[in-house]
Amino acid sequence: MSYLNQKMSKKMSIKQVLVTGATGKTGSLVFRKLQQRHDEFSVLGFARSSEKVKQLFGTEADFYFGDIREPSSLDSALAGCQALVILTSAIPKMTAPPQPGERPNFAYESDSMPEAIDYEGQKNQIDAAIKAGVEQIVLVGSMGGTNENHPLNLMGKGKILIWKRKAEKYLVDSGIDYTIIRAGGLLDQPGGVRELLVGNNDDLLNNPPNGIPTSIPREDVAETVVQALRESNSRNKAFDLISKPETDSTVSVTKDFAALFAQTTPEI
């Protein structure tokens, strides 16, 4: 193959990916990880604040701006994309500092309740992806959605995990290849140093192996997203994801993501 043909064929095999929620804590990690793999991916971000993008990435290049509640703002961002990573989420705000010994109270802005962001907003993204001919959607959700009384569902009367689950069902029924990652409690700790565990429909939450915390570093979730875009056996799978606590032994650290995805199943 000539050098020019080699270059063209490499360019044609590069996957164009849009990351929404790219200014979020996990979304920004995914965005950066995909940027580093420029031989495989061409990454675009979707955000609502140009200031935040400049603060995080130093430039607005490769960003589209809009709001997931406005379906039309997603169309141009998704044009030409083969994959979409959904990392948007409703964000509750503390209403007042907690009294000593009490838990803090949280509420959502009235126009940004989980129904609007985690259901309608995700549905808008999925519909826009269908329109644009996107082949795969990787969606990061949360464990706990099988329990209506989970503290996150009660927070701000938002039923956030219930609405996330409804959007996940919409994705599964959409016909687009899906990878749904329902993460445990997110930690801002280093990734790539733990063994990752997958589960199904909150089984890890209800019966954590050896009582380990059902949490995971955001970096490990971000890496799992990237690998889900690379490994074909991540497609049409929905799974819970946590990590074992970090140990001195590096033997069991998860490196083979195809083997991890092989343990996961389609949503039923």
Q: Please say whether the beta carbons of 1 and 27 come within 8 A.
A: no
Q: Please say whether the beta carbons of 121 and 163 come within 8 A.
A: no
- Which positions are annotated as active-site residues? 142
Please state the closest distance from residue 146 (CB atom) to ligand NAP, in A.
14
Measured CA to CA, the distance from residue 239 to residue 263 in angstroms comes to 9
Name the residue nearer to ligand NAP (CB basis): 14 or 146.
Answer: 146
Q: Which two tokens stand for residue 197?
A: 């565990």
Name the residue nearer to ligand NAP (CB basis): 14 or 172.
Answer: 172
Name the residue nearer to ligand NAP (CB basis): 14 or 75.
Answer: 75
Name the residue nearer to ligand NAP (CB basis): 68 or 176.
Answer: 68
Residue 59: CB atoms within 10 Å: 9
**118 closest CA partner among 73, 74, 169, 154:** 169
Please state the closest distance from residue 5 (CB atom) to ligand NAP, in A.
40
Measured CA to CA, the distance from residue 217 to residue 233 in angstroms comes to 23
* Half-sphere exposure for 63 (CA within 13 Å, toward CB): 25
Please state the closest distance from residue 42 (CB atom) to ligand NAP, in A.
20
Handedness of CA 211, 223, 88, 199 (dihedral sign): negative
Residue nearest to ligand NAP as judged by C-beta position = 24
Measured CA to CA, the distance from residue 229 to residue 223 in angstroms comes to 10
Residues within the interface to ligand NAP (CB under 6 A): 21, 23-27, 47-49, 52, 67-69, 87-89, 91, 117, 121, 140-142, 183, 185-186, 218
Please state the closest distance from residue 266 (CB atom) to ligand NAP, in A.
21
